[in-house]
A and B are shown apart, each in its own frame.
Chain A
């Protein structure tokens, strides 16, 4: 049923739209014509997503059920999936990736939040410290990781971290050459590299918390930890949940850290991640179909995490 608007009856206080007084038409062609500007602006984004996100994703799924040999592509059902699961490095890669994700959640997630609280509390040199915290983000990741590789994680006593440990009379480490230290070392480097962006987002969220909440808490005798627990965290829970989700999705795609810091697989495969295994299959082992299958498995796992996140945040709202 067509709905018409009586001229001059738009609600007071709302700006009058040039389209407000036109009768709404149901025909699709009319609708498209009416919203041509919007659709035209939308086309660019849709095309970009379609070409660079959706098409490769669909192509990856299709490839994961195919096998190309001698230029001939055939459908092979679940063969690529069974083959990739039988890959001796498959479970190692998942174990390493989950381990990295958990460590990154403990360290990489908590540290920026507390740094942001600290920056928010400061009265002086705020701007200067914010720049300082954000500076590593501006370094290309490869350069930052090479700094860690050659200076911080040098296993000799000349290495930066080992020199500090030695000065403190603590035992030195082999860092990337020790299977037990590979993941913590990668998390430290990754946190340092990426912390700046997260700190800025947390800072913005913190600054939106009404000051009177803190004042009331202070009047009630709440100390700093109680204020953080009862005011800061509840007030920023949505941002915290969003950042946790983004962190999980990002850390599970761990690739450049093992590639540069560990030259790939690291000591006794301790750095092999799922994304690195995809790269190995696709680019070294002449197995693009296997790589596609592993990519789809990863997509499903990450989609699962995202679904859980959406459910949780929907309930919270």
Chain B
């Protein structure tokens, strides 16, 4: 072969190779409907990642057992890495149109999923035939995933925030582990004593970055009886004595007492890493933060307990609640939707199975006995069964959460356009936690103006 011919052949081979590569990169055709044998196939995301060995094994066992019981259904599990914890990953998959047939989302994701046009109305399918415990599921949670009278997702987790505290540090600081602070002035006093232990220990820790500062500001504001937006959702409603009290409490602890540690601009993983290392006395969070502290950040269950969210002069007037659910992708066949609902019913909503298989979880390094997920309505049959099973198989000291459970605080949801508002409120939180001369009125006024501007632009 002469040189020009050789070059020509090489060039053509290169183009052909590129073409093949691009074809290989293109989206795989959808093969997830009914196959020739009359079987229904669905893809489901949020399969645990390989690093979570026991959780992954549990999931795979659940799939195998479910398919044995339902030989006409094939579940294709998809692990999407951090999607289940990381909103940007979820947005990317949603925008890219690569979500699975049955896909996981936060309660606050409903609007985003609807805007993407990928959510299916499952109202006519979600009932006792597909989910035997459906009537026991808390109606308030169903409502969160309902828009215009249509249901778009099935709730699978629900939480509310309280005061999480380190019992070991409480003991070392001479505090009563069975009597955590009930008001913010009591939190301040306790934080001062814990911080006095030295060694870089923060008596109380708080977020102020990555939108988590705004998220917690919201919960702290609820504890004061406030709200982020006015009732009609058109104006900010935190530039008032309640909002100022939230910031004042933090300022007093951070700079008045120096009891919040020197490192600020914390977000979720930062605070929990410090907590797992025994450097945090108290913070606000949901019961499952203790699970994250243990399974992701190598802390110990027995070190942690939880009380209700403190209020300013007495019990908190409200606490922030949230949760998760599974959506259904538009365009699924009725058989696929029913198959998906059956799977969720089995893995997420049946006492004794899946996430409620406490017998299986008991010997594993996952907590049984946490007052979560609060999926079933008070007094419902499923709630009684779940509670009995939880009590019988608890592997964490349920007394550690007894105060939280025995003193329920009214739960309030997140404001509309939550993430954009949280981003604005982050600045108020970071301002008060990083600037000893922060002007609280100015911080609140700036945040109020920004949120009003943002809401006006949204229309």
B32 located at the interface, meaning its Cβ lies under 8 Å from any Cβ of chain A in the complex = no
Q: How far is the CA of A179 from the CA of B435 in the complex (A)?
A: 9
Nearest B residue to A176 by beta-carbon distance?
B265
By a CB distance below 8 angstroms, the chain B residues around A174 are 434
By a CB distance below 8 angstroms, the chain A residues around B115 are 68-71, 286
Cβ contact within 8 Å between B453 and A268: no
Q: How far is the CA of A266 from the CA of B200 in the complex (A)?
A: 22
Set A68, A263, A279, A283: member contacting B265, Cβ < 8 A? A263
Cβ contact within 8 Å between A87 and B263: no
By a CB distance below 8 angstroms, the chain B residues around A40 are 8, 11-12, 14-15
Of A41-49, A119-127, A189-197, A308-316, the one touching chain B:
A41-49
Interface hub of A88, A156, A176 (most chain B Cβ within 10 A): A88
By a CB distance below 8 angstroms, the chain B residues around A263 are 209-210, 265-267, 270
Cβ contact within 8 Å between B15 and A155: no
Cβ contact within 8 Å between B453 and A86: yes
Cβ contact within 8 Å between B209 and A262: yes
Q: How far is the CA of A288 from the CA of B8 in the complex (A)?
A: 44
Cβ contact within 8 Å between B209 and A83: no
A225 located at the interface, meaning its Cβ lies under 8 Å from any Cβ of chain B in the complex = no
Cβ contact within 8 Å between B426 and A83: no
B423 located at the interface, meaning its Cβ lies under 8 Å from any Cβ of chain A in the complex = yes
By a CB distance below 8 angstroms, the chain A residues around B264 are 155, 177, 267
Give the residues from 419 to 459 in chain B that come closer than 8 angstroms, CB to CB, to chain A: 419-420, 423-424, 426-427, 430-431, 434-435, 443, 449-450, 453-454, 456-458
Of B88-96, B299-307, B347-355, B381-389, the one touching chain A:
B88-96
| Least CB distance, B271 to chain A, in whole angstroms | 11
Set A41, A87, A264: member contacting B457, Cβ < 8 A? A87
By a CB distance below 8 angstroms, the chain A residues around B118 are 71
By a CB distance below 8 angstroms, the chain B residues around A43 are 15, 18
A72 located at the interface, meaning its Cβ lies under 8 Å from any Cβ of chain B in the complex = yes
By a CB distance below 8 angstroms, the chain B residues around A268 are 427, 430-431, 434-435, 443
By a CB distance below 8 angstroms, the chain B residues around A265 are 209, 423, 426-427, 430
A37 located at the interface, meaning its Cβ lies under 8 Å from any Cβ of chain B in the complex = yes
Give the residues from 142 to 162 in chain B that come closer than 8 angstroms, CB to CB, to chain A: none
Set A51, A87, A286: member contacting B112, Cβ < 8 A? A286
Cβ contact within 8 Å between A37 and B430: no
| Least CB distance, B234 to chain A, in whole angstroms | 15
| Least CB distance, B110 to chain A, in whole angstroms | 10
Cβ contact within 8 Å between A37 and B7: yes
| Least CB distance, B457 to chain A, in whole angstroms | 5
Interface hub of A82, A89, A264 (most chain B Cβ within 10 A): A264
By a CB distance below 8 angstroms, the chain B residues around A51 are 22
B87 located at the interface, meaning its Cβ lies under 8 Å from any Cβ of chain A in the complex = yes
B117 located at the interface, meaning its Cβ lies under 8 Å from any Cβ of chain A in the complex = yes
B116 located at the interface, meaning its Cβ lies under 8 Å from any Cβ of chain A in the complex = yes
A5 located at the interface, meaning its Cβ lies under 8 Å from any Cβ of chain B in the complex = no
A282 located at the interface, meaning its Cβ lies under 8 Å from any Cβ of chain B in the complex = yes
By a CB distance below 8 angstroms, the chain B residues around A87 are 453-454, 457
Q: How far is the CA of A71 from the CA of B147 in the complex (A)?
A: 15
A257 located at the interface, meaning its Cβ lies under 8 Å from any Cβ of chain B in the complex = no
Nearest A residue to B114 by beta-carbon distance?
A70
B133 located at the interface, meaning its Cβ lies under 8 Å from any Cβ of chain A in the complex = no
Interface hub of A43, A155, A263, A282 (most chain B Cβ within 10 A): A263
Q: How far is the CA of A176 from the CA of B266 in the complex (A)?
A: 12
| Least CB distance, A90 to chain B, in whole angstroms | 10
Give the residues from 220 to 262 in chain A that come closer than 8 angstroms, CB to CB, to chain B: 262
By a CB distance below 8 angstroms, the chain A residues around B87 are 283-284
Q: Contacts A89-B424, A154-B263, A174-B434 given; 17 further ones with Cβ under 8 A?
A: A68-B116, A70-B115, A83-B458, A87-B454, A88-B424, A177-B434, A263-B210, A263-B267, A265-B423, A267-B434, A268-B435, A279-B88, A283-B88, A283-B92, A284-B91, A284-B423, A285-B423
By a CB distance below 8 angstroms, the chain B residues around A155 are 262-264
Q: How far is the CA of A217 from the CA of B20 in the complex (A)?
A: 59
Cβ contact within 8 Å between A88 and B450: yes
By a CB distance below 8 angstroms, the chain A residues around B209 are 262-266
Cβ contact within 8 Å between B88 and A284: yes
Nearest B residue to A177 by beta-carbon distance?
B434
| Least CB distance, A135 to chain B, in whole angstroms | 28
Set B11, B112, B210, B267: member contacting A36, Cβ < 8 A? B11
A178 located at the interface, meaning its Cβ lies under 8 Å from any Cβ of chain B in the complex = yes
B111 located at the interface, meaning its Cβ lies under 8 Å from any Cβ of chain A in the complex = yes
| Least CB distance, B91 to chain A, in whole angstroms | 5
By a CB distance below 8 angstroms, the chain B residues around A285 are 417, 419-420, 423
Cβ contact within 8 Å between A284 and B211: yes
| Least CB distance, A309 to chain B, in whole angstroms | 32
B4 located at the interface, meaning its Cβ lies under 8 Å from any Cβ of chain A in the complex = yes
Closest 10 CB pairs of A and B: A71-B117, A40-B11, A263-B209, A88-B450, A283-B88, A286-B112, A267-B434, A284-B419, A177-B434, A285-B420
Cβ contact within 8 Å between B14 and A264: no
Cβ contact within 8 Å between B210 and A83: no
By a CB distance below 8 angstroms, the chain B residues around A176 are 265
| Least CB distance, B167 to chain A, in whole angstroms | 26
By a CB distance below 8 angstroms, the chain A residues around B200 are 156
Nearest A residue to B116 by beta-carbon distance?
A71
Cβ contact within 8 Å between A47 and B22: yes
Cβ contact within 8 Å between A88 and B265: no
Nearest A residue to B430 by beta-carbon distance?
A267
A18 located at the interface, meaning its Cβ lies under 8 Å from any Cβ of chain B in the complex = yes
By a CB distance below 8 angstroms, the chain A residues around B443 are 268
| Least CB distance, A278 to chain B, in whole angstroms | 12
By a CB distance below 8 angstroms, the chain A residues around B423 are 89, 264-265, 280, 284-285
| Least CB distance, B17 to chain A, in whole angstroms | 9
Q: How far is the CA of A262 from the CA of B458 in the complex (A)?
A: 27
| Least CB distance, B384 to chain A, in whole angstroms | 39
Nearest B residue to A68 by beta-carbon distance?
B115
Q: How far is the CA of A262 from the CA of B430 in the complex (A)?
A: 11
Q: How far is the CA of A72 from the CA of B417 in the complex (A)?
A: 20
Give the residues from 175 to 215 in chain A that come closer than 8 angstroms, CB to CB, to chain B: 176-179
By a CB distance below 8 angstroms, the chain A residues around B14 are 40-41, 44
| 0 or 1 for each of A263-296: is its CB under 8 Å from B? (1 = yes) | 1111111000000000110111111100000000
Cβ contact within 8 Å between B420 and A284: yes
| Least CB distance, A157 to chain B, in whole angstroms | 9
By a CB distance below 8 angstroms, the chain A residues around B262 are 155-156
